[in-house]
Amino acid sequence: MNNDLKTVKNDQTPAARPIKGSTINRVLDILETVAASERPLSPTDLAVQLDIPKASLHRLVGVLEEQGYLQTRMNQRGLQPGYRLHRVALGVLASAPLQAQRRAILSTLSDEIGETCNVAVPDGSEMIYFDRAETHWPVRVQLQIGSRVPVCATAGGKMYLSSLPRAKREALVSHVKLEAYTGNTLMDTQALLDDLDATAERGYALDNEEYIEGMVALAVPITNEDNRLYATLSFHAPCMRIPFSAVTDFLPQIRKASGKLSTLLND
């Protein structure tokens, strides 16, 4: 472990206390800035933005990468949240004070629509199913909490992609290997980007049997106080019960529920 973080743990002298607090604040500032940024930030970007000496910044970033809180992108251009920072975020979302209220909102929505409803969070090129309220129909699609699904072939994933700045959206799509899950999966990059443009314009995403044959879905964003997406709310159903043409009939209910979840998670 580097000297900056050793000072935090081991040096108990009065003279070291300001340094100790400064180092902790710097670590927290780095994590907050990377997590909130709409684009990957380089160590140089962080040093300038946070007014931290480059040598100290590189040491702290190195430890945060070693510990899994940050990771360098595959193209080596910029830092992004690591798996442990994602775990912290999921832990906050799953905290007991919010869990009962979130489940109540999801269960009410599932009862209104009559289908399974999910909250999912983005993680790179995948979405993680974070919470769900199950339909009571005997015929249903089983996607358990913790399941990972592709961003390019699901309603929640396309909702997330559509919320990104256009340049970042195009870059992510260009680096993802498109896989044909069904005959309806969008396999042409330009067709997918056109679909994401339409999604961004209308504010909701659709899945017309693109991930699982016989399943349709609709997703809307759950946003933070800055109106940025940090999760998606969706429902999916067998098309034998809800045809694709009828999916948007439930848009008012799902938007109302997403508003409640946004308010809940921002309070």
**70: confidence class by pLDDT, cuts 50, 70, 90:** confident
State the average pLDDT over residues 6-14: 42
Question: pTM of this prediction?
Answer: 0.72
CA distance 132 to 140: 13
Q: Which residue has the higher pLDDT, 159 or 28?
A: 159
Cα torsion angle, 141, 147, 148, 151, sign: positive
**84: confidence class by pLDDT, cuts 50, 70, 90:** confident
Compute how many other C-beta atoms are within 10 angstroms of the C-beta atom of residue 31. 18
CA–CA distance from 256 to each of 105, 253, 260 (Å)?
Answer: 10, 5, 6
Q: Which of 70, 66, 102 is nearest to 83 (CA)?
A: 70
State the average pLDDT over residues 64-82: 78
Coil, strand, or helix at residue 118?
Answer: strand
Q: Which of 52, 72, 47, 53 is nearest to 62 (CA)?
A: 72
So what's the pLDDT on residue 130?
83
84: phi then psi, degrees, rounded to nearest 5: -75, -30
So what's the pLDDT on residue 4?
46
State the average pLDDT over residues 136-148: 71
| Domains, in order of start, for the chain | 3-81 (1.10.10.10), 94-266 (3.30.450.40)
**85: confidence class by pLDDT, cuts 50, 70, 90:** confident
State the average pLDDT over residues 90-113: 80
